[in-house]
Amino acid sequence: MGGPVSRPVEGTRQRLLTAAVESFHRHSVAGTSLQMISDDLGLTKSAIYHHFRTRDELLEAILEPVMADLARLVAAAESVRGARARADAMLTGFAALAVTRRTLIPVLTGDPGVADFLRGRPDWSALVQRQLALLADVEPGLGGQVKAAVVMAGISAAVGVDYPEAGDDLARVQDELVTAGRRTLGLRAPRET
Amino acid sequence: MGGPVSRPVEGTRQRLLTAAVESFHRHSVAGTSLQMISDDLGLTKSAIYHHFRTRDELLEAILEPVMADLARLVAAAESVRGARARADAMLTGFAALAVTRRTLIPVLTGDPGVADFLRGRPDWSALVQRQLALLADVEPGLGGQVKAAVVMAGISAAVGVDYPEAGDDLARVQDELVTAGRRTLGLRAPRET
């Protein structure tokens, strides 16, 4: 658990996951085949089959840790008192997650292949709905729902854009994503503590 | 020019375009083949080849009218005086376009297959950059760029969401998209005239 990865089996698995995220990002999920990924890594098809039998298994393995992070964020935000504070906790947590996983997050929300996959995982779909509800509850009705969708999809896509002005300073991008989200939802920045 | 479409050739072409948008929406661009579309419509492969030789030709034919609309919107917005009024013109125009083409627009901005295609069409990429610049110019620097990206991607994705509360009243959705965009960009609603 933790520590440097030394088993070759683990090494290959991780390389497969990284190559898959990269390929999903570039060619979309539907445009990616196990064959392409094994070619990219110079692996045989049986080497990849040892880890993943289908593209869906690979997608699931990629989504698993993100969904675990998201589940923690959603649960933490739901435990906060007050609808506005709950939304702010969800927003700031999601912006941090998006920046940390900025190759994957734009795929996750923009790619119809992922949406398709999520329909087969009601537990994960429910999690995304809870995330949306936390953002939407600031303003009851259609206005809140539309703003929540704009913020969630907007952050997910905007984190994948290259901002020459920010260079490698992703903390600045994260701050700006939070600022944009707060504005959209009508949240004030909390006072410094 | 205008008027009811009666030539059978036009009819098939239009049915192909409609079926393709639907398939791009459901299976993404990379997950759609000419074969799938001809199967959906009960056409032979040679019938589809009469109109489109490749998926890219089909995608281009789908994007063409949207890009023509967008070009008009961008040019109109650029001719307005004042950065805030320009951004507002771009925002309101884009929200209207997104609602009118709500099956296509989420694909257009979320699908890596479209991004890939646009890289081969520098004229269309430049158009999207002008659209972003109109929104970003309200606030110089990184903050404006991030907010523009959030608004554009956010509206594009949020327009594709089903809002049971809105039912068929897409005008309400459009109003809420504009309200969300104005908030994000820090624009006030113009006074009624």
Q: Compute the distance between CA of residue A12 and CA of residue A122 in angstroms, rounded to an integer.
A: 30
Residue A168: which domain range?
55-185
Structure-block tokens of residue B131: 């659209």
Would B3 be classed as within a structural domain?
Answer: no
Judge whether residue B134 has pLDDT over 90. Answer: yes
pLDDT value, residue A9 = 55
Of B3, B162, B114, nearest to A111 by C-alpha is B114
Q: What is the pLDDT of residues B147-168, one digit of tens each?
A: 999 999 999 999 999 999 999 8
Please give the tally of structural domains in chain B.
2
* Mean pLDDT in residue range B118-127: 93
pLDDT value, residue B113 = 87
CA-based nearest residue in chain A for residue B172: A142
Q: For tokens 């906060």, name the residue.
A: A80
User: Are A44 and A138 members of one domain?
Assistant: no
DSSP state letter for B12: H
Would B82 be classed as within a structural domain?
Answer: yes
Phi, psi values for residue A30, rounded to 5°: -65, -25
Judge whether residue B93 has pLDDT over 90. Answer: yes
Of A176, A166, A95, nearest to B147 by C-alpha is A176
User: Are A94 and A152 members of one domain?
Assistant: yes
Q: Which residues of A touch B28 (CB under 8 A)?
A: 28-31, 111-113
pLDDT above 70 coverage of chain B, percent: 94
Q: Please enumerate residues of B whose Cβ is less than 8 A from a Cβ of A.
A: 24-32, 107, 109-113, 116, 141-143, 145-147, 149-151, 153-158, 161, 163, 165-166, 172-173, 176-177, 179-181, 183-184, 186
User: Are B168 and B81 members of one domain?
Assistant: yes
Q: What is the pLDDT of residues B11-65, one digit of tens each?
A: 889 999 999 999 998 888 999 999 999 898 999 888 888 999 999 999 999 999 9
pLDDT, averaged across chain B: 91
User: Are A79 and A20 members of one domain?
Assistant: no
CA-based nearest residue in chain A for residue B183: A184
User: How many Å lie between the alpha carbon of B54 and the closest alpha carbon of chain A?
Assistant: 15
Q: Compute the distance between CA of residue B36 and CA of residue B141 in angstroms, rounded to an integer.
A: 45
Q: How far apart are the first and last CA of chain B?
A: 35
ipTM value of the model?
0.91
* Count of CB atoms situated within 10 Å of the CB of B152: 25
Would A2 be classed as within a structural domain?
Answer: no
Dihedral of alpha carbons B146, B148, B150, B152, sign:
negative
Phi, psi values for residue A44, rounded to 5°: -80, 160
Dihedral of alpha carbons B39, B44, B46, B50, sign:
negative
Final residue of a structural domain among A18, A33, A49: A49
Q: Of the candidates A111, A161, A172, which has its C-beta nearest B149's C-beta?
A: A161
Q: Which residues of A touch B26 (CB under 8 A)?
A: 112, 116
Write down the H helix ranges in chain A: 8-27, 34-41, 45-49, 55-78, 83-100, 104-110, 112-119, 122-136, 142-158, 170-185
User: Are B14 and B97 members of one domain?
Assistant: no
User: Are A15 and A72 members of one domain?
Assistant: no
Asked if residue B137 lies in contact with residue B82, where contact means CB atoms within 8 angstroms, the answer is: no
Q: What is the pLDDT of residues B2-26, one digit of tens each?
A: 455 555 556 889 999 999 999 998 8
The tens-digit pLDDT sequence of chain A (193 residues) is 445 555 555 688 999 999 999 999 888 899 999 999 989 899 988 888 899 999 999 999 999 999 999 999 999 999 999 999 999 999 999 999 999 999 999 888 888 889 889 989 999 999 999 999 999 999 999 999 999 999 999 999 999 999 999 988 999 999 999 999 999 999 988 775 5
Phi, psi values for residue A32, rounded to 5°: -110, 135
Asked if residue A141 lies in contact with residue B110, where contact means CB atoms within 8 angstroms, the answer is: no
Would A1 be classed as within a structural domain?
Answer: no
B171: CB partners within 8 A, 6+ apart:
B99
Would A192 be classed as within a structural domain?
Answer: no
Q: Which residues of B touch A150 (CB under 8 A)?
A: 150-151, 154-155, 157-158, 177, 180-181, 184
User: Are B59 and B19 members of one domain?
Assistant: no
User: Are A78 and A172 members of one domain?
Assistant: yes
Would B170 be classed as within a structural domain?
Answer: yes
User: Are B76 and B93 members of one domain?
Assistant: yes
CA-based nearest residue in chain B for residue A171: B142
User: Are B60 and B44 members of one domain?
Assistant: no
Q: At B112, is the pLDDT very low, low, confident or very high (cuts 50, 70, 90)?
A: confident
Would A191 be classed as within a structural domain?
Answer: no
User: Are B89 and B177 members of one domain?
Assistant: yes
User: Are B44 and B62 members of one domain?
Assistant: no
pLDDT value, residue A8 = 55
CATH of the domain at A26: 1.10.10
Would A32 be classed as within a structural domain?
Answer: yes
> Could you tell me the CA-to-CA distances from A29 to A104, A159, B40, B148 in Å, in that order?
11, 19, 22, 27
Of A20, A112, A127, A13, nearest to A67 by C-alpha is A127
pLDDT value, residue A95 = 98
